[in-house]
Amino acid sequence: MTLALDLLLAGAILVVAAWTVAARDGFAACFGFVATGLLLALAWVRLGSVDVALTEAAIGAGIGGVLLLNAAARLRGQETVDPGDVARPWQARGIAALCTAVAVALAAVLLALPVPAPGLAPAAAAALPPTGLGNPVTATLMTWRALDTLLEAVVVLLAVIGVWSLAPDAAWGGRPGPQVPPAEGPLALLARVLPPIGLVIGLHIVWAGADGPGGKFQGGAILAAMWVLAWMAGLVRPPPVGSRRLVLALVAGPAVFLMVGLAGLALAGSFLALPAGFSKPVILAIEAPLTLSIATGLALLLLGPPARAA
Amino acid sequence: MSVLADGFTLLCVGAGLVFLLAGTVGLLRFPDAASRLHALTKADGLGLGLIVLGLLPQAAGLLGALKLMAIWGLVLLAGATVGPMIARHATGGSGR
Amino acid sequence: MAEALLAAAFLALATVAAGLVRVLRGPAPADRMMAAQLLGTGGIAALLLLAAGSGGWAILDAALALAVLAAFASVAFVQAASGRSR
Amino acid sequence: MTAPYALLAAALVGLGLHGVLAHAEPLRRLLAFNLLGSGVFLVFGVVARRGAAAGLEADPVPQAIVITGLVVAFAATTLAVALLLRLHGGDPPQD
C-alpha cells in the first residue's frame, strides 16, 4: 500500500512539474508550480520530514506561489524576449541530451546510496538532551548549525534591502505596494475573520517548533500572509520604508541573535555557543525577536519595492 | 468500544472519500464553470467534513480533536470566500 | 486500521491527481482556480489521513498551516487572475 | 522505500535544468530554477530518510539545511521577481 502511495505521489509530482516547464503561458505555469509545491509537501511527510513539509507548504507553495502568480499577472504580455535567448534546434537537442544525462547520472548515484546511509542522526539525537528541546531539527538549527540560521535571517534582510533598492527615485522612502481601496463582499469578510485565527496558528507553530514540527520561519510566513491579506482588503497600510519602527522590527532579530552569538564567545568559549543549562531560555529569547523580523521581512518581500512617494 | 470507534471512522472516511470523488468528477465532467463551481465547493467541504468527523475518535486528546475541527472550519471559510469570488470572475464581474 | 487509513490516503491522493487534469487543461483561469481549491482540500484530506494512518499526529500542525495558507493563497490567486493585480 | 522519491529528485533536477536553459522568458526560467531547487532539496530528503537512525524518522541535519535552503530560495526569488518587474513590468503602479 505504501509503495503504491509513494509511486502515485511521485508520479503526480513529476507530471505536474513537467507540465509547469512545458506550459504555454507563464500564468498557467505558475498554477502548475503551486500544485507541485503542494504535492511536494505531501512527499516530505512521506520522507519523515514534517518540518520541511511545513516549510514547503508555507514558503514554497504558499507565499512563494502568491509572489510568482502576482508577477505573472503583471508581466502578462509585457515580457519582451531577446531573440538571441531563444534556443536554436541544435541547441535544444543538446540541452535535452545534457539534462537527460544529468538526471540519469543523479538517479544512478541516489539509487546506489548505501542503506542505511552514513549520517549525523545518532550524533544529533545524542546532543539533543542538553538543549532542552524536543525537536531535533530545531535543535540542529539553533545550536550546531546556528550560523546557518543567523545568515538565513540576514539573507531575508538583504533581500528586503535589495528589493527596496529597485524603487524608482521618486518613491524612495515611501510606502511599498500600490494603494488598495477598501474591499467589499467576501474578501472584506475573510480579511477580518482569518487574520486573528492565522495569528494564533502562526504563533502556535513558532512555539510548537521547540518540541515538534514548526519554527520561526514557518510561523513567520503565516503571520506575514495574514498581514498581506489585511492589506489586500484595504484594512491596513504598509508603513513608509523610512519608518524607524519598521527598520527596528526588521533588524531586531538578527541583532539579538548576533549579540547572543558574541556573548557566547565570552561566556561559552566560541561564537554562537550557548551556555550549558541555559540553552532553552536563550533559544526562546532569540526566537521571539527573530519571528518578528522574519514575519516583517517576508511581508515586505511580498509587497515589493516602495511605489509611492512618502 | 475500539471496534465501534474504528467502524465509525471507516464509515465516515469512506463516505467522505465518495464526496471528494464526486466533487472531482463534477469538476472534470460538468460543462460550464458555474456548475463546476457548484459541484466543487459543496462536495469538497462535505467530504473533508466527513473525514474529519471520522478521524475525531482516533485523534490524540482534546487538542488533536480541536485542530481537526479548526482545519475543517478553515477550509469551509476559504471555500465560502473564494467560491463567490471565482463566480464573479467567471461571470465577468469585477472579481471582488 | 492503519492500513485502511493509508488506503484512504491513497484514494484521496488519487482524487487530487484526477483534479489536476483541470489545473492543467483549464481552459479558463476560473477552472484553474477551482482546481487549485480542490487541490488544497484534497491535499489536506490526504495529509489528515496520513497523520491518522501513521500515528504521526504532529502532521496536524502542517495541515493547519496548509489550511490557513490555502485560504490566503486562493484569495490572492483570484485577485491576481482577475487582473486587479498591481 | 525511498526509490520513487530518488527517481523523482533526479527527474526534477533534469526538468528544471532543461527549463532554465531552454526557455527564453525570464519568469519561466525563474519557475524552472525553483523546480531545479526542489529537486536538489529532495535529494537531501532522500539522503535524510536513508540516514534515519537513533529513533529519528530522518536525519535532522539535512532537514535543517533544506529548511534554510527553502527560505534562501524564497528570498532570492523575491529579488529576481522585483528585478523582472522593474525591467519588464511597465510603469510602476500609480493607482
**Ramachandran area for residue A48 (φ above 0: left; ψ -120 to 50: alpha; else beta):** left
Q: Kindly list the residues from chain C whose CB atom is less than 8 angstroms away from the CB atom of residue A28.
A: 26, 32
Q: Are residues A211 and A245 in the same domain?
A: yes
pLDDT at C78: 80
pLDDT at C83: 62
* CB A182 within 8 Å of CB A188: yes
Give me the DSSP letters along A220-231. Answer: HHHHHHHHHHHH
**Ramachandran area for residue A226 (φ above 0: left; ψ -120 to 50: alpha; else beta):** alpha
Summarize pLDDT for C48-72 with one digit per residue, the tens: 998 888 877 888 888 898 899 888 8
**Considering the domain boundaries, does residue B46 fall inside one?**
yes
* CB A23 within 8 Å of CB C20: no
Residues of B with CB under 8 A from a CB of A: 70, 74, 77-78, 80-82, 84-85, 96
Q: Do C and B touch, counting CB pairs below 8 Å (3 needed)?
A: yes
Does residue B9 have a pLDDT over 60?
Answer: yes
Min CA distance, A245 vs chain D (Å)? 22
Summarize pLDDT for B40-96 with one digit per residue, the tens: 777 888 889 999 998 888 876 888 889 899 999 998 888 888 888 887 777 765 433
Q: Do A57 and C9 touch (CB under 8 A)?
A: no
Residue C85: band (very low, low, confident or very high) from pLDDT cuts 50, 70, 90: very low
pLDDT at B94: 45
- Name the percent of chain D lying above pLDDT 90: 54
pLDDT at B95: 39
**Considering the domain boundaries, does residue B96 fall inside one?**
no
Q: Are residues A196 and A230 in the same domain?
A: yes
Min CA distance, A67 vs chain C (Å)? 9
Q: How far is CA A255 from the centre of its chain?
A: 20
pLDDT at A241: 85
Residues 6+ apart with CB under 8 A from A43: A9, A10, A13, D5, D8, D42, D45
The Cα-based distances of A136 to A211, A291, D44, D64 in angstroms read: 8, 19, 16, 9
**Considering the domain boundaries, does residue B37 fall inside one?**
yes
* CB B19 within 8 Å of CB B27: no
Q: Which of A103, A115, A171 sits opposite D11 (nearest CB)?
A: A103
The range of the structural domain enclosing residue A191 comes to 120-310
Partner B, chain C 3-42, Cβ-Cβ below 8 Å = 4-5, 8, 11-12, 15-16, 18-19, 21-22, 28-31, 33-35, 37-38, 40-42
Q: Are residues A75 and A224 in the same domain?
A: no
Q: Quick check: ipTM above 0.85?
A: yes
Name the DSSP class of A120. Answer: S
The range of the structural domain enclosing residue B78 comes to 2-90
| Block residue for cell numbers 460538468 | B30
pLDDT at B6: 84
What is the tally of structural domains in chain A?
2
Mean pLDDT of A11-24: 90
β partners of residue A176:
A306
Residues 6+ apart with CB under 8 A from C28: B33, B90
pLDDT at D9: 94
Min CA distance, A149 vs chain D (Å)? 7
Domain final position from A118, A136, A152? A118
Handedness of CA A281, A283, A284, A290 (dihedral sign): positive
**Considering the domain boundaries, does residue B95 fall inside one?**
no
* CB A175 within 8 Å of CB A241: yes
Task: Report the distance separating Cα A211 and Cα A142, nearest Å.
Answer: 13
Q: Do C10 and A5 touch (CB under 8 A)?
A: yes
The Cα-based distances of A62 to A12, A36, A276 in angstroms read: 19, 11, 37
Does residue A248 have a pLDDT over 70?
Answer: yes
pLDDT at A123: 74
Summarize pLDDT for D41-71 with one digit per residue, the tens: 999 999 888 877 777 788 888 888 999 999 9
Pick the residue of A194, A204, A226, A229 with the most B CBs within 10 A to test the interface with B by mutation: A194
Mean pLDDT of D32-49: 92
Min CA distance, C59 vs chain B (Å)? 10
Least confidently predicted of A2-16, A114-128, B12-26:
A114-128
What is the tally of structural domains in chain B?
1
